[in-house]
Structure 1
Amino acid sequence: MTMTKQLSPNWVFVADTVMGGVSTGSVTATSIKERAAHRLTGHVSLENDGGFVQMAFDLTGDIAVDDAGDWTGLELDVTGNNETYEVRLRTSQLTKPWQSFRAEFQASEGWKTVRMPFDGFEAYRHEFSFDPNQLRRIGVLAVGREFQADVAVSAIRLYR
């Protein structure tokens, strides 16, 4: 039997403008296909060495996960525009903003649950092994190529 722990994120918008890029977008709380969701929309531009828009949240306060090591991975209920997106995880091991653990998913036009085991996330620009006990930030990104982002998350959970 699968067990889950529902997270209640306070999503914030981040774009490549923090490093000189020109991608634009937003995160909005909305209703999509009769579900409350947070929706990331925008234009991903590669100009000025950019290339991402993101919605992310920190695991602090009432959504702190002190025991993420007891869980197998993340489940996200998502819908979108049939594009590929990334989930990026940051841990307290990582000190540089470009370092992360990454995995991709496809956001189809209908709602679906995407299950992402922690052991499926790949280290990016560092040599650490993923330690779920040090998980501190989760992001959903449109990244790496010019396109129109449109992805929504109605729920995010830890599972085991």
Structure 2
Amino acid sequence: MSTRVADIYQARQGERSPWTAITDQVMGGVSTAELQQCERHGSACTCLSGRTSLENNGGFIQMKLEIEPSWSCGEYAGFFIELCGPAHDYNLNVKTTQLDKPWQSFRCTLTVEPQWKRFVVPYSELQAHRTDKDLDPATIRSVAVIAIGEAFDVDVCVRRFGFYR
């Protein structure tokens, strides 16, 4: 990866996290989520824990990070994120101002492992989900790590997120 990176988030002990937790309860589901500042494997991080439930047409929890337009996402080739947790697949969803429905996104699947792992995601690897639009990186407004589609105990942590050239 190029050494030209822009850190959007890097966890630090004692600092409030900009990530927010969202559950399927916004649409009648019963999944639960909690967001905490933690330390894993010697690193400060923000951790999402909870349980996804498929009851009441639910099945997701997420941690979401808003991206300010001033970051000029279109000037980068993609982003990186450092995650850790029990081995499981999570979706990484990107929202843009191009999308007008809550179920639309650009996404990819990341396999989280019990040790810290850096995922490097070129914009070209993001797949359009429930939209026919092509991703315009200049319009990115948020990114989310999502546990979705099956009932399971969620435990995933992020220590760093940013863009690269």
Name the SS of the counterpart of 1:48 in structure 2: helix
Q: Distance in 1 between matches of 2:155 and 2:111?
A: 12
1:26 aligns with 2:37: no
Count, aligned residues: 157
1:134 aligns with 2:139: yes
1:39 aligns with 2:55: no
State the AA in 1 paired with 2:63.
M
Q: Distance in 1 between matches of 2:95 and 2:70?
A: 13
Q: Which shifted more, 15-24 or 25-34?
A: 25-34
State the AA in 1 paired with 2:108.
A
Q: Distance in 1 between matches of 2:124 and 2:35?
A: 28
Given that 1:43 and 1:146 are in contact with CA atoms closer than 8 Å, whether structure 2 keeps it comes out as: yes
List per-residue Cα deviations over 1:50-93 (Å, max 9, x = no partner). Answer: 01000002113xxx444211211111111111000011000001
Instruction: Please name the residue that 1:4 is paired with.
Output: 5
Q: Distance in 1 between matches of 2:4 and 2:90?
A: 25
Name the SS of the counterpart of 2:135 in structure 1: coil
Instruction: Please name the residue that 2:13 is paired with.
Output: none
TM-score scaled by length of structure 1: 0.94
1:56 aligns with 2:57: no
Q: CA deviation at 1:155?
A: 0.3
Within a 5 Å distance, the mapping from 1:53-132 to structure 2 comes to 53-60=61-68, 64-132=69-137
Q: CA deviation at 1:38?
A: 0.5
Instruction: Please name the residue that 2:151 is paired with.
Output: 146
Q: CA deviation at 1:2?
A: 3.2
Q: CA deviation at 1:22?
A: 0.6
Q: Runs of 5+ in structure 2 lacking a partner? A: 10-16
Give the alignment's Cα RMSD to 1 decimal.
Answer: 1.2
- What is the percent sequence identity of the aligned residues? 34
Q: Distance in 1 between matches of 2:98 and 2:139?
A: 7
List per-residue Cα deviations over 1:117-137 (Å, max 9, x = no partner). Answer: 111111111111000000001
Distance 1:136 1:146, change over 3 A: same
State the AA in 2 paired with 1:73.
G
Given that 1:66 and 1:133 are in contact with CA atoms closer than 8 Å, whether structure 2 keeps it comes out as: no
Q: Distance in 2 between matches of 1:21 and 1:76?
A: 28
